[in-house]
Amino acid sequence: MPLRSTATARQERLGAELRKMREAAGITARDTARLLGTDPAKVSHIEAGRLGVSEERLRRLAAFYECGDTELIDALVVMANGLGRKGWWEAYRGVVPAAMLDIAELEFHATALRAIQITHIPGVFQTEDYTRTVFGYAIPPLPPGELEARVAQRMERSGVLYRDSAPPYEAVIHEAALRMRFGGGKVARAQLEHLMELSHLPHISVRVIPFAADGHIASGHAMLYTSGTVRALDTVQIDSAHGVTFLHAAPQLANYRTLYDTLAAVALDESPSRDFILSASRDL
C-alpha cells in the first residue's frame, strides 16, 4: 500500500488503536516489524495512519498482541476495509480545513451522536444564513470563496440527519445559544423555527438548559460525542480558539460521558424544551 502524505482522523484512529493494542501487550515496534517481515519505520507509519493495513495483516497483528476483544477487532477490520472509499466530504479537501472533513467523516460513521452547545446551535442543525453569519465572524476574516465553501460543506453535513437509518442524535443546548442573535432577529428566528422542526423527527432529541436551571456546572462546554460500533471506538470532538481537537483515550471518553449526563440531568424534557424554544423565537 502506498504511503499517505497526510492521514485523516479516522485513519489516524485505526493506527492509534493498533499502537495501543501493541503497547498493552508489551511488544516493541521492532518485534512487530519482524512478524510482518518489514522494518520498524513501516510499523510507525501504520500506527500513525499514513500506511494502510489489510484485514489479513490486521488480524495477524491482533493475534500476535493476544487481543481477545473480538468485537473490537471486527470493528477495526470494518474500519480498515472502508478507509479506501472516498466520502462526499473529499470534494472539499484542500478547500476547507481538514478538521471539518474529519468531523463530517466521524458523523457519517457514527452509530449515535450527542452534542452539548452553550453559545451556538449545533452545526448540523444550523440554517444556511445562520452558518454564513457564524463563519463571517472568523478572525481573521475568511476570503469570500472559502466562506461559501465552508457554508456549503456544513449544509451537506446536515444530510446525516435525513439519510436512511440516520443515527440517533441527542443535543443539549443552553438557553444562551437560543438568545444569540446571529444575523439579526430574522435569521435567528428562522434558525429557532428550523430547530423546532428538527426536534419533531423521531431520531432527534433537543433539550434546553434554561438560565434558571439549578446544578448547571461551570465546566460545561461545547462538544460532540460520536459513538463507534464499539465503545472503545467512540470519539469526542471539541472546538477551541486554536482549532479542533479529537479525543479518544478511555478516561477522556468517560469524563465526557459524565459531563453530558450531568448537563442532561438539569435540562428540560423534550416537550418543555420545544415550548421554551417557541417562546424564545417569539422574543426575537
Q: Residues 246-262: pLDDT tens digits?
A: 999 999 999 999 999 99
Task: Return d(Cα 282, Cα 155) in angstroms, integer.
Answer: 26
Would you state the pLDDT for residue 216? 63
Whether residue 1 is predicted with pLDDT greater than 70 in this model: the reply is no
Looking at residue 239, what is its pLDDT?
85
pLDDT at 80 over 80: yes
Taking residues 263-275, report their average pLDDT. 96
Q: Alpha-carbon distance 205 to 273, whole Å?
A: 10
Q: What is the pLDDT of residue 33?
A: 96
Q: Which has the minimum average pLDDT: 80-84, 107-111, 147-151, 275-279?
A: 80-84
Decide: 171 and 207 in contact? Cβ < 8 Å.
yes
For the stretch 147-174, pLDDT in tens is: 999 999 999 999 999 999 999 999 999 9
- Alpha-carbon distance 86 to 101, whole Å? 11
Largest CA-CA distance found in the chain, in angstroms, rounded: 68
Q: Residue 215: pLDDT above 80?
A: no
The pLDDT assigned to 205 comes to 98
Q: What is the pLDDT of residues 104-152, one digit of tens each?
A: 999 999 999 999 999 999 999 999 999 999 999 998 999 999 999 999 9
Structural domains for the chain: 9-82 (1.10.260.40), 96-282 (3.30.870)
Residue pLDDT, tens place only, 3-52: 887 889 999 999 999 999 999 999 999 999 999 999 999 999 999 999 99
pLDDT over 70 (residue 217): no
Predicted local confidence at residue 17, as pLDDT: 97
Q: What's the whole-number average pLDDT of the chain?
A: 94
Per cent of the chain over pLDDT 90 is 88
Tell me: pLDDT of 218 over 80: no
Instruction: Average the pLDDT over each of 129-143, 208-222, 233-247, 266-280 and give the range with the smallest value.
Output: 208-222
* Cα–Cα dist 155/163, whole Å: 14
Which three cell numbers, joined as nine digits, stand for 208? 434546553
pLDDT at 242: 75
DSSP assignment of 57-120 equals: HHHHHHHHTT---HHHHHHHHHHHHHTTS--GGGGGBTTB-HHHHHHHHHHHH-SEEEEEESSS
